[in-house]
Chain A
Amino acid sequence: MDGFSPEIWQSLGLTIELASVTTVILLIVGTPLAWWLARSKSLWTEAVATIIALPLVLPPTVLGFCLLALLGPVGLLASLSGGRTLAFTFTGLVVGSALSALPLVVQPIRNAFAAMGDRPMEIAATLRASPLYAFFTVALPLARPGLLTAAVLGFAHTIGTFGVVLMIGGNIPGRTKVLSAFLVDFVQESRWREASWLAGAMATFAVAVVLTLTLIDKYSRRRST
């Protein structure tokens, strides 16, 4: 491991911090959004769902560029707030990775809410539960497997995110340089040993994530039968 510079450990910390913060924010924002998408009969739901799903099909660099244009030094935010910019900052990274992982987080939660149907909430209402109380005591616990899937996917996606982060973060060592960016550096410098280690570690992580998901799914199925 002596081939690794201290920067890579710094980068590991940054990556994990970014993934954690992003996941928490995604759950807080994504859950009410998923609830609205699953329950509302409004025609807007499909339009909103499409916009949320865009990051899945857009090249990440395009998304990153859009964000840079909005939040960057000459962007919309800067002209509104007098020169404030989120580009090349941690906050900018969070915004970028949150947007790109949003569809992966919203979809499983939305499915979980849709699968439970109207009944549990109706029954709760006939038992004097206010909509808010019923949401926390019935809807959230019933959607738990969906929430877990969403959290794991959001976390894992943020760990592996590259294009968006590169665009908005600027790849500044110690501040906005994440693990996947290091892999590019290693390859460009022909440091195959370090590159193999890093790639291997990230692949192992991905396997662990998928395995966790499968186990969650199995566990929740067993509970419901």
Chain B
Amino acid sequence: MRTATPGRIEIAFSGSIASFPLDTQFSVPAKGVAAIFGPPGSGKTAVARCIAGLERLPAGFCAIDGEVWQDETTFRPPHLRPIGYVSQEASLFPHLSVRRNLLYGAPKPKPTPIAFDEVVELLDLAPLLDRSPSHLSGGERQRVAMGRALLSQPRLLVMDEPLAALDSCAKREILPFVERLPEKLALPMIYIGHDMAEIERFADYLVMMERGMVTAAGPLHVLQTDPALPLAASREAAVSLNAMVSGYDGRYGLLLLRLKGARLLVPAPPLALGVHQRLRIAACDVSVAREAPRAGSILNVFPARIRACLPLGAAEITLVLALGTGGSGTEILARITRFSFDSLGLKDGVDVFAQLEHVSLLSASEPPLQTIAASTPTAEPGQASAAA
């Protein structure tokens, strides 16, 4: 009999649901955001439904932070699982107002750890409270569904492609709210999606699925740079990193961020020292040089060592680089042409200089996202772009 480990979300489901075979096993920390990523039809939703107890596979194990929800002898029915479940369609109750939808799952004796007013403010629901769900837009409906799930005081939030049914405009409207949840609430979250561009903005941990099976699981950044996985070799390859704010140059408006093996300078508004800032560095924004450039406009140039070379089509190569002298630091990706690769004589283990032409700051904890979105209305909310 398996025992549950505190601090972990442990999942193992095998069997078939409506003749779809599922054989999924993974364990992720019960902290932060774990994303389940895979193409449509890879069984991600089936896993979410099993976790919620909406599907029952006889051979299943599900334990959240030391609490067993399902094993050989136990099966907690869905209404006894402290879960917040948000699915693709918001499925608001059409016969209840927004306010009564929000309060449907809220325990009656107040006060609750996740308070009504807090959720209303977090998701900007105040103007909607007395309206009927039939008069809301898709994005608004999804926000209400998230609020309703949070107010049921869950110990785990499961979001099954909450943005999939929305158009790109509504997606942009709602993404900042999704990003804000994990940092504002100390609540572990399982986020299911098939769009890496969403996931790399806020996930800490990644579980990759294909045809009902887990193909890889681990910290997001580790999987992003793993040469054996399709992520690093894809055209949109990028790394998501958490850097620590270690200074600010007020004269030039440059934020100093520290990574293992590098100190980045990024034009951005000031942030408090010691705060963690999510960065995204796309492979196509990194180039390499054999010698340290003497004079150039690129601010972020660091020694690095080549860890792996992955061909991309006929003409290009993606390099996995470890920053720092001797390659002891953070791994990032660089995209170069095969011509440059050959003419510079590059191969595994060669020391180079990585030139980071562009670093994106994502979901800044301070200042709040609205400020960024409001000050630069044309930019994508929550993303301060920085060309160095």
A contacts, CB < 8 Å to B: 119-120, 122-131, 134, 137-138, 141-142, 144, 223-225
- Interface 0/1 of B54-78, CB less than 8 Å to A: 1000000000000000000000011
Residue pair A126, B134 in contact (C-beta under 8 Å): no
> A122-B54, A224-B134 known; A127 and B152 CB under 8 Å?
yes
Bound CA–CA A128/B77 (angstroms): 10
Bound CA–CA A138/B85 (angstroms): 17
Residue pair B104, A126 in contact (C-beta under 8 Å): no
Min CB distance, B255 to chain A, in Å?
41
Where chain A touches its partner, the secondary structure class is helix
Nearest to A144 among chain B residues (CB) is B95
**Number of B residues with CB within 8 Å of any CB on chain A:** 25
Nearest to B104 among chain A residues (CB) is A127
Nearest to B151 among chain A residues (CB) is A127
Query: Which of A120, A125, A224 is in CB contact (< 8 Å) with B54?
Result: A125
Known interface pairs A123-B85, A125-B79, A128-B107; 13 further A-B residue pairs with C-beta atoms within 8 A, sorted by A's residue number: A123-B93, A124-B104, A125-B53, A125-B78, A126-B54, A126-B81, A126-B83, A126-B149, A127-B149, A128-B79, A128-B80, A128-B152, A137-B104
Residues 81-111 of B at the A interface (beta carbon under 8 Å)? 81-85, 87, 89, 91, 93-95, 104-105, 107
Q: List the 9 closest A-B pairs by CB distance, nearest first.
A: A127-B105, A126-B85, A125-B78, A141-B95, A125-B79, A123-B91, A127-B152, A128-B79, A119-B91
Bound CA–CA A225/B52 (angstroms): 30
Residues 135-159 of B at the A interface (beta carbon under 8 Å)? 148-149, 152
Query: Which of A122, A123, A128, A142 is in CB contact (< 8 Å) with B95?
Result: A142
Residues 219-246 of B at the A interface (beta carbon under 8 Å)? none
Nearest to B78 among chain A residues (CB) is A125
Query: Which of B53, B79, B152 is in CB contact (< 8 Å) with A130?
Result: B79
Query: What are 19 A-B contacts defined by CB distance under 8 Å?
Result: A120-B91, A123-B91, A124-B104, A125-B78, A125-B79, A126-B83, A126-B85, A126-B105, A126-B152, A127-B79, A127-B105, A128-B80, A128-B82, A128-B107, A128-B152, A134-B79, A137-B104, A138-B93, A223-B94
Min CB distance, A60 to chain B, in Å?
38
Residue among A122, A141, A223 with max Cβ neighbours from chain B (10 Å): A122
Residue pair B93, A122 in contact (C-beta under 8 Å): no
> A122-B54, A126-B85, A225-B134 known; A131 and B95 CB under 8 Å?
no
> A141-B95, A142-B95, A225-B134 known; A129 and B54 CB under 8 Å?
no
Bound CA–CA A178/B115 (angstroms): 60
A-B contact count (CB 8 A): 59
Q: A residues within 8 A CB of B84?
A: 126
Nearest to B107 among chain A residues (CB) is A128
Nearest to A123 among chain B residues (CB) is B91
Nearest to A134 among chain B residues (CB) is B79
Min CB distance, B250 to chain A, in Å?
49
Nearest to A133 among chain B residues (CB) is B79
Q: A residues within 8 A CB of B79?
A: 124-131, 134
Bound CA–CA A120/B145 (angstroms): 12
Residue pair B78, A126 in contact (C-beta under 8 Å): yes
Nearest to A140 among chain B residues (CB) is B95
Residue pair A142, B104 in contact (C-beta under 8 Å): no
Bound CA–CA A127/B80 (angstroms): 9
Bound CA–CA A225/B132 (angstroms): 11
Q: A residues within 8 A CB of B93?
A: 120, 123-124, 138, 142
Residue pair B134, A128 in contact (C-beta under 8 Å): no
Q: A residues within 8 A CB of B78?
A: 122, 125-126
Residue pair B94, A224 in contact (C-beta under 8 Å): yes
Residue pair A127, B148 in contact (C-beta under 8 Å): yes
Min CB distance, B380 to chain A, in Å?
31
Residue among A120, A123, A144, A224 with max Cβ neighbours from chain B (10 Å): A123
Bound CA–CA A141/B100 (angstroms): 14
Nearest to A122 among chain B residues (CB) is B54
Bound CA–CA A115/B115 (angstroms): 35
Q: A residues within 8 A CB of B95?
A: 141-142, 144
Q: A residues within 8 A CB of B81?
A: 126
> A122-B78, A224-B134 known; A128 and B94 CB under 8 Å?
no
Residues 346-387 of B at the A interface (beta carbon under 8 Å)? none
Min CB distance, A115 to chain B, in Å?
12
Residue pair B152, A125 in contact (C-beta under 8 Å): no
Min CB distance, B63 to chain A, in Å?
18
Bound CA–CA A130/B52 (angstroms): 14
Residue among A126, A134, A142 with max Cβ neighbours from chain B (10 Å): A126
Min CB distance, B116 to chain A, in Å?
15
Q: A residues within 8 A CB of B107?
A: 128
